[in-house]
Structure 1
Amino acid sequence: MPNLNIAFLGPEDLAKELGKKGTSTDITFYNMKKGDVTLTIIEPCRYPEKLSSLFYSVSMADLAILVIDSISAKLGETILMLNAAGIKEGAFILRNYIDKGQIAPLMKDTVLQHYSELPDDPVVLREWLWKLAGEKKTARTTEPGSVPIDHHFNVKGIGTVILGSVMEGTIRRHDQLTVHPIGKMAQVRSIQMHDDDSAEASAGDRVGLALKGIEADDLDRGFVLSSDPRIISSLKISGAAELIPYWPQPLKEQMI
């Protein structure tokens, strides 16, 4: 079942026309299904109040839809977030008589310079997304899978349930998963994808996992469930930080 995860960065009125509203916290999900093809639309509904809302939405996405209705600091921040996350595929929609010449300098040398321009029409947008989703191939593999948690809760009669997207490999019913970073174990009791039961889920699939052996209160957003022994939890990260060209100050210890 091919699934496409889409970061929708624009007014809520258009998102509501695209799919059925699902889970909503600081991120709102809209779900669409046609045959075996599914779309998951992710909206940062608490942005710009919470920058993390934008970050989480973009970090889960395969592509982005950006609705531009004003030239503002919010637009600039959104462009930088998409570029930093490397979301190379997407489209933009112009409103309020804004023309492409006004935004072209803002998109230059970013991933957005390759985005398609679409009319402000939910029917056209929906068909464009269905076409892309239909062309996507689900990579089935025997490799162990990993799922970062974006929501977790207790369901009466079922127990602990988490929502997330499979980032790599394949998750199967009855898999024993390590919960990073706390190190506890949890068993996959069942898997659902867009309200349908499934025996397994692979990279790109949006899933709900019912878990055995762990409580919802033990979990948090950003925890990772994995059967991959190569994944470890550590208090230290070693690597290189790359600053965007528009940040004028060097990195310093204790900087937020």
Structure 2
Amino acid sequence: MSNITVAVLAPNGYADDLGKKGTTSDITFYNLKKGGATITFIEPTRYPEKLSSLFYAITLADRVVLVVDEINATFGETVLMLQCAGKANGYIIFKNYLTPDQIAPLIKGTVLEHYEVIENDPLGLREKLLDAASRMTAHQKVKEGGGNGAVPIDHHFNVKGVGVVVLGCVTHGVIKKHDSLKVLPTTKTAQIRSIQKHEDDAEIAVAGDRVGLALKGVETEDLDRGYVLTNDPAVKCSATVTGKAQLVKYWPAPLKEDMVIYLGHWMQFVPSRITKVSSGGDWRMPELTFTLEKDLVYPSGARVVLNYLEGGKLRVVGTLTLP
């Protein structure tokens, strides 16, 4: 079985025609399964009110479906978030008589320049994605040798007769039934009692899989969204991080010490304060040091999205690369 996770950036409910509705919070999941191919669709239910809703939907995705029905500030912010998150694989659907020529100047030089323009045909889109997932199945065995894995938690709850269950997507590597995993940023360890992928039991999950994990050794009060289950020693956590930033071209002024910026990485959207700025002559590419309200969990070389919630119509600041 192979899975593709797709961010559906469209009017809420658009994905009702793509899959069966599942978990709903500030992001809504829809599931589609045919044979050995599965698709997970995610809608940012609370966006544009909550920028974190857009970030979460995008950060989880392998591919993007962007429905353009109006050219406005929300469209511009979505383009910037996709660019900062590096989501280069996607499709654009036009509505309300909009055309590719109308957005071409706005997406020039961004990842969206290479998105495929497709018709507004949910059934056709379903078949297109299922076909892509089916073709990926042949590569699944290769992924199974991918080393230690990590699963950022997006939801967690108790199930009667089962115990603690967490939902998440495998970011890289492999996890297996009975593995003992660190629960970062805590000092706790949890053992995987069972793995489910789209309601089917499994012995193993690999990068790209959407999983439900029944855990032993932790309680739901020990967990939170953004915590990471991992057996990968390269994944670390810290309440102070320093990295090289690159600001979006529309950002109007240099970042300054004491500004509160939200760092987006995996399922984390953490408020942090800039404690040091070293511009090195180019204020759009400064080195920044942040002190966070809680530990950030990340691997070496992580790409973090910078967000400024007091920014009005421009809330996406840029990216930060961590050593």
TM-score category (smaller protein): over 0.9
Shift of 1:142: 5.4
Residue in 1 aligned with 2:188? 184
Give distance in 2, aligned partners of 1:185 and 1:209.
Answer: 14
CA drift of 1:232 comes to: 2.2
Q: Does the 8 Å CA contact 2:146/2:172 hold for their aligned counterparts?
A: no
Aligned position for 2:131 = 131
User: Structure 2: how far apart are the matches of 1:13 and 1:178?
Assistant: 36
Decide which of 202, 224, 227 is 1:223's aligned counterpart.
Answer: 227
Q: Match of 2:292?
A: none
Deviation at 1:131, TM superposition (A): 2.4
TM-score normalised to structure 2 length: 0.77
Alignment-derived partner of residue 207 in structure 2: 203
| CA deviation vs aligned residue, 1:174-219 (integer Å, no higher than 9, x gap) | 1101000011011101000000000010111000000001011111
Rounded to whole Å, the distance in 2 between the matches of 1:63 and 1:104 is 20
Say whether residues 1:25 and 2:25 are aligned partners.
yes
Task: Tell me the equivalent position of 1:166.
Answer: 170
* Pairs aligned (count): 256
Which piece of structure 1 moves more, 69-78 or 232-241?
A: 232-241
Contact in 1 for aligned 2:181/2:230 (Cα 8 Å): yes
**More displaced stretch, 50-59 vs 222-231:** 222-231
Q: CA RMSD in A?
A: 1.1
Equivalent residue runs for 1:47-86 within 5 Å: 47-86=47-86
* Residue aligning to 1:247: 251
Contact 2:36/2:134 (<8 A) preserved: no
Give, in whole Å, the separation in 1 of the partners of 2:214 and 2:259: 39
Tell me the alpha carbon deviations over residues 65-96 of structure 1, each in whole angstroms, 9 at most, x when there is no partner. Answer: 00011111000000111111111010010001
Which one is further off, 66-75 or 124-133?
Answer: 124-133
2:241 alignment partner, one of 228, 232, 237: 237
Query: For residue 285 of structure 2, what is the aligned residue in structure 1?
Result: none
Percent of aligned pairs with the same residue? 55
Amino acid of the structure 2 residue aligned with 1:4 = I
CA separation of 1:230 and 1:100: change in aligned 2, threshold 3 A: closer
In the alignment, the residues of structure 1 paired with residue 173 and residue 100 of structure 2 have an alpha-carbon distance, to the nearest angstrom, of 40
> SS at the partner of 1:47?
coil
1:14 Cα offset (Å):
2.6
Query: What is the rounded CA distance, in whole Å, between the counterparts of 2:15 and 2:190 in structure 1?
Result: 35
- CA distance in 2 between counterparts of 1:135 and 1:85 reads 25
Q: What is residue 4 of structure 1 aligned with on the other side? A: 4
Could you say which residue in structure 2 is the equivalent of 1:111? Answer: 111
| 1:241 match: secondary structure | strand
Separation in structure 1 between the aligned mates of residue 116 and residue 197 of structure 2, nearest angstrom:
29
| Further displaced range: 58-67 or 227-236 | 227-236
CA distance, structure 2, for counterparts of residue 67 and residue 195 of structure 1: 29
Aligned counterparts of 2:42 and 2:26: Cα–Cα separation in 1: 10
Q: 1:102 — aligned with what?
A: 102
CA pair 11-142 structure 1, distance change in 2 beyond 3 A: closer
Per-residue deviation, residues 18-39 of structure 1 (Å, max 9, x unmatched): 0000000000000001111100
Mapped partners of 2:258, 2:161: distance in 1: 46
Superposition map of 1:31-42 within 5 A: 31-42=31-42
TM-score of the pair, normalised by structure 1: 0.97
Q: 1:145 aligns with which of 128, 143, 149?
A: 149
Runs of 5+ unmatched residues, structure 1: none
Shift of 1:99: 1.3
1:3 & 1:14 partners in 2: Cα distance? 20
